[in-house]
Each structure stands twice: as C-alpha cells, then as structure tokens.
Amino acid sequence: MGILSENIVIETIPLPLAGVLFSDSIHSIVLKQHHIDASVILFEKTPEEYFINSRAGFETNGKLDEKFFSNLCIEFTKKLATQEKSNDPIILDMDNMLSLEGYVDLENFNSFRVFKISDYLNTAGYWFMFYKNGNKPQISDNPFDLYPGSKQLIEAIKETIEYQSKSIAKDEIISQWVKLLDLRDKETEEHTVRVARLAQELAINLGLPDDEVESIKNGALLHDIGKLVIHNNILQKKGPLSKEEWQIMKLHPSIARELLSSLELSQDILDIPMFHHERWSGTGYPFQLKGRQIPLAARIFAVVDVWDALNSNRPYRKKFAKVKVDQYLRSKKGIDFDPKVVDKFLELHGTDTIISRKYLTTMDDKRINY
C-alpha cells in the first residue's frame, strides 16, 4: 500500500478555539514554524458533512477535494465512537484508503498524521498534517506549542464571546487583549503602553477630535496583537531575520485584523493594527499604501512606534542616542513618514524638548489607563 498503512491512529490535540483562530494565513505561519509541509483542517457542519475551514501548503490547493476529506472525517468519527481504547488504530474502508494513497502520491508526501481537534467551543473537527522531503511527523509533547500564545488567547476569546452576548464594555475587552502582551513578553507590553500614551498625546496636539483620539489610543494598545502568533524564536532573535522569518513577521498586521475581527471595533481602531507598517512612499506592508491612502491614525502611530523602538534596547541591537533618533525621523520625512506628523512630534519630543527627557526617564514606571 505504499507509505500508508491500513491502520491509522487518530490522536487528539487540545487546540483551544481552533475554529476561531485558524484562518488560512495563520495556518500558513503554523506550518512554516513547525516544518509541516501541508495541512487541512475540517470542522463538522452536520453529522454527515464536514467543511474545510482552512488549508495551507498544497500544490493542488484549488482542487482540494472537500467531499473526500469530509468522508474521511465521517468515517473517523463513526469508528472512534466504537473504539474500546482511544489509541487503537482505525482500519479505513478500502475505497477511502486507496483514494488517500492516491492523493498522497499526487502531492509527493511521504508521511502524514491525523488529529481529532479538542476545541474550547466543542467544535468537532480533524486536522490532517502531511510531510515530504524527509520531514518527520513530530509534534511537541505540548501541542499548545503549535500555536504560540494559544493558552493566553483562550481567556481573551472567552471575554470576546461574553462581550458579544452580554455587551461588556469595549475597554474591558481591549484590556484583556493587551494583557496578553504582558503574559507573552513584558518588554512588548511596556512598549505598547508607552506608544499608546505618545500616540494619544500627538493626536491631541494635531487637533483631532476626542473620539478619534480615543480610537488612536485603543488602536495603539492593540497594534502588536498579531505578534501573539509569531514564535519567540523569531520575535526574540538576536541576529537578523532570515528571508523566511521576515516573511512570517510581515504577516502580523493581517493576523491582527483576523484576531480582532470577532470584536465589534470601529475601523478607526483597526487602522493602527492593520496599517502601522505602511510607509509614506508606498514601500511598507502589507498593502503598500502610499501617502494619504494610509489612514491618519496609522501615520501618527508609525512615527511614535519607530521613535520608541529606536529609543529602546532590542535583542539584536542597543538603543540609539537620542540625537540620532531625531536625525533618523527627519531623514525619513516624505519617505517613510508623513512630514507634518514628524514635525509635530519633534516639536513635542525632540532632543531639546524637556518633555522628551522627562518621558524617557519616567515612562517605564507608568501604566496607561485602559
């Protein structure tokens, strides 16, 4: 029968909120970070039908046979229900076995695993993982490692669900998400607090109305939430990122949008998580927006984000001298940043400004009210 045996062991993986978290782009990141060549996740629509929730890595993506995989899931479910022991192998019906063998050959896989997903929302589903080119079907003893931050995300999603059903205040929901950053990385959380305060101040001084200032504060608090999906070996790498690592890192604005889509947040709040890496000249990511195509909130935040980053030590470099930071911002006016935003920011926080020196010496000990 080739690389497959007629006996398949179905393992259970406690993957909280898989149906909420696994969009196609997040799915792709998990594959890249854990050396899985391709996978597909299906969830139950009815007891007699499963649908493909997300997929990644298949050369024949457009031709992925949902009906075939649905039939496999149905067969797995029926046979698992009659098992005496959870780790007993399943013997597939011959037609399904031959079809699976043919599909594996078509994609040049040499091994695969199947997981029954155990989900906080009691979603019934299966995760098929495929490997080739010598990759081994090894999963960490702690399956949460497949999705960095998933333990902490459980509580945030619970709060989101409660918010939608009980109308909990948005500020409370946002605070839960921001606290995830503290759980994941204290340095990231402190950066988030600082830039939220700076962005709020800059928006006020640019004359924005109160509701827009509030949205900018909230958007700034959530700007790095997409990095919860990025593995620490990338986020905390001391040297430069590889090309593949950089491609993963550049997905975090899109991931933020997907993670926050379950919240009823205004677009003004989402503008910062989605667009804060766009650049004035159109060379940013993920959408290569240019000039005033970039929402003002994101243009404001881009300046304070870079200013704070350069004023902070990072795993891969020491912080810049304050005068060098100012020089950098001025050199990037009209290239990376909105010139008017840079001018106003340096008026408030340039090297010769007392506010700037006070900020740098006291801000680490403060916390924004959210």
Those residues with Cβ within 8 angstroms of residue 75's Cβ, 6 or more apart along the chain or in another chain: 90, 92, 93, 96
DSSP three-state, residue 114: strand
pLDDT score for 188: 62
> Tell me, what's the pLDDT at 8?
64
- CA-only gyration radius of the chain, Å: 24
* Amino acid present at 158: K
Q: For position 12, what pLDDT does the model report?
A: 61
Q: Which tokens is 262 given? A: 């379950």
The yes or no reply on domain 7-146 and CATH 3.30.70 is no
**Stretches in the chain below the pLDDT threshold 50:** 1-6, 14, 16-17, 20, 120-121, 140-144, 354-370
What local confidence, expressed as pLDDT, does residue 195 receive? 93
> What is the C-alpha to C-alpha distance for residues 88 and 124, in angstroms, rounded to an integer?
20
Cα–Cα distances in Å, from 299 out to 173, 256, 302? Answer: 25, 17, 5
Angle between helix 296-310 and helix 267-275 axes, rounded to 10 deg: 40
* Rounded distance between C-alpha atoms, residue 107 and residue 242, angstroms: 27
Residue 287: the pLDDT is 93
Residue pair 45/76 in contact (Cβ under 8 Å)? The answer is no
Strand order in the sheet with 125-131: 10-14, 111-118, 125-131, 38-46, 49-56
Cis omega before residue 286 (within 30°)? yes
Sequence-ordered alpha helix ranges (H) in 66-222: 66-80, 94-106, 150-166, 170-184, 186-205, 210-221
Position 23 scores a pLDDT of 64
In the chain, domain spans: 7-146, 151-365
Query: Could you tell me whether strands 49-56 and 90-91 are parallel, antiparallel, or unpaired per DSSP bridges?
Result: unpaired
Query: Which pLDDT score is estimated for 119?
Result: 53
What is the longest distance spanned by two Cα atoms in the chain? 78
Structure tokens given for 273: 């998580």
Helix, strand, coil: what percent of the chain each, to 5?
55, 10, 35
pLDDT at residue 318 in the model: 85
Q: Is residue 36 within 8 Å of residue 55, measured between CB atoms?
A: no
**pLDDT at position 248:** 80
Between the alpha carbon of residue 340 and those of residues 208, 284, 304, the distances in Å are 14, 19, 13
**What pLDDT does 181 receive?**
67
CATH class of 151-365: mainly alpha
pTM of the predicted structure, to 2 decimals? 0.64
Q: Give residues with Cβ within 8 angstroms of 226, minimum separation 6.
A: 251, 252, 253, 254, 255, 256, 257, 259, 273
- On the question of a common fold for 7-146 and 151-365, the answer reads no
Residue 292's pLDDT is what?
96
